[in-house]
């Protein structure tokens, strides 16, 4: 069994196209998406179209969900981006006809998906859209949080949401991919794991490259992909509805 898992694209078409090109070069299929197709970035329409075309499935992220449930819990930068994205995407008399299809696609995104003993969700099994799972939970929330989450997992749990790649085992050990080269971890078939696949469109581990995961018969490979970050930054800076910090942070991987 071999597949790729992507997450947190955030309307960054330059990053997404580069990641798909890398996946194609490696011959990995199918491709699964853990949500947050939209939010923050300048190209929600093209990202939705490409995910619909290329991904075997996509589940709902908190930014996707906020288009319908409202962005009240978001910080001002993210809230304004959601409001702008909603205006770009919602159907209407004077909107592109294709907006209707994109809107339905986002409305119908499932909250999670199970394939055999693999579980795919944006946040966590306890709150599939909004709860974060952090590396630090091993030290501060192992009993009350992580052990409860592992009870919902048959073998492997794939998540996104934090934009921070990490693997957490049910022994409360963590593995963090670091360095310039791609990193791989061999999984113990007798253990359970939470696998955060990182972010395609807005990495936050101080590495500006996009991040995604390849699963290959109990080997997890983290792939980092360079893309033209400055093009995205310039688009955001030229958009008066998107705060400049949403662009400049891409230059620092934060």
Domains of the chain: 2-251 (3.60.21.10)
Q: What is the pTM of this model?
A: 0.96
Instruction: Write the burial class of residue 190 (CB in 10 Å: 0-12 exposed, 13-18 middle, 19+ buried).
Output: exposed
Q: What is the pLDDT along the chain (254 residues), one digit of tens a residue?
A: 999 999 999 999 999 999 999 999 999 999 999 999 999 999 999 999 999 999 999 999 999 999 999 999 999 999 999 999 999 999 987 788 899 999 999 999 999 999 999 999 999 999 999 999 999 999 999 998 999 999 999 999 999 999 999 999 999 999 999 988 999 999 999 999 999 999 999 999 999 999 999 999 999 999 999 999 999 999 999 999 999 999 999 999 99
Please spell the DSSP secondary structure of 33-90, one letter per residue.
E-S--SSSSS-HHHHHHHHHHH-SEE---HHHHHHHH-STTS-HHHHHHHHHHHHHHS
What is the torsion angle, in degrees rounded to the nearest 10, for the CA atoms of residue 78, residue 81, residue 82 and residue 84? 160
Cite the beta strand spans of 59-182 per DSSP E.
Answer: 112-115, 118-121, 156-159, 166-169, 174-175
Could you check whether the bond before residue 30 is cis, i.e. omega within 30 degrees of 0? yes
Q: How far apart are CA 243 and CA 250, in angstroms?
A: 13
């Amino acid at each position: 069994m071999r597949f790729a898992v992507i997450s947190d694209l955030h309307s960054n078409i330059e990053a997404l196209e580069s990641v798909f090109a890398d996946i194609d070069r490696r011959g990995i299929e199918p491709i699964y998406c853990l949500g947050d197709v939209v939010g923050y970035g300048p190209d929600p329409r093209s990202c939705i179209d490409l995910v619909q075309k290329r991904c075997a499935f996509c589940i709902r992220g908190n930014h996707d969900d906020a288009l319908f449930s409202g962005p009240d819990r978001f910080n001002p930068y993210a809230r304004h981006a959601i409001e702008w994205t909603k205006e770009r995407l919602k159907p209407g008399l004077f909107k592109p006809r294709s907006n209707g299809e994109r809107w339905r696609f986002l409305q119908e995104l499932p909250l999670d998906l199970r394939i055999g003993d693999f579980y795919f969700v944006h946040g966590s099994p306890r709150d599939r859209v909004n709860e974060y799972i952090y590396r630090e939970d091993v030290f501060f929330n192992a009993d009350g949080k992580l052990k409860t989450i592992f009870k919902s997992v048959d073998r492997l749990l794939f998540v996104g949401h934090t934009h921070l790649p990490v693997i957490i085992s049910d022994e409360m050990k963590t593995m963090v991919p670091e360095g310039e080269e791609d990193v791989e971890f061999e999984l113990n078939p007798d253990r359970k794991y939470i696998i955060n696949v990182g972010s395609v469109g807005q990495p936050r581990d101080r590495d500006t490259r996009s991040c995604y995961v390849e699963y290959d018969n109990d080997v997890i490979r983290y792939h980092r992909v360079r893309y033209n970050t400055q093009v995205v930054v310039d688009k955001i800076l030229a958009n008066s509805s998107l705060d400049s910090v949403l662009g400049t942070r891409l230059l620092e991987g934060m």
